[in-house]
Chain A
């Protein structure tokens, strides 16, 4: 059974730091791109960051660029998100999400889909 389980959330003061972890199981972790998506209380989904399967390429939303760092340890089947310089607007549930590529009938790459989501870990930034 595919599972992704987040941890590391909590209450932190503005300007503080946190490291989120995501333990993956039930699939070949090193074959999948992985993502973080967040959801502020009562709000919609916002994509935060992604990392390719071997960790050599990362992408970030403009709102977190320079403050958040995504990384992975394929030997430990674990995804990370380092958060620094936290702001009140970073308060949200952070979801770890598996990405899966899909193709058309001729084998042409069509894109990536978020097919498994963790239950999320809540980060609260407040003094």
Chain B
């Protein structure tokens, strides 16, 4: 079945350093979503990318969707301790149901002050 792979699994950074997580799908996606889950919390929607090559920014966060719509990345500039958590990408296949999001395993980010 379809898989969404995410790397790295863990990332430890010093506050102020940049952070990037990468997401790769075995199949072409209709769209991809990114979520953040704080320790002990639940996933919180960050953004959705739909178009090939799309780039979206939210303050220090930059999201990209690959030209082939099979990969995506999330980049955080100048990390802060509030960025701590696990970042998940979730993809949806063409023809897939509205509900059937395939999540990656996530990248757990820790930030040392």
Q: Say whether A and B bind each other.
A: no
* Residues of chain B having any CB pair with chain A under 8 Å: none
* Residues of chain A having any CB pair with chain B under 8 Å: none
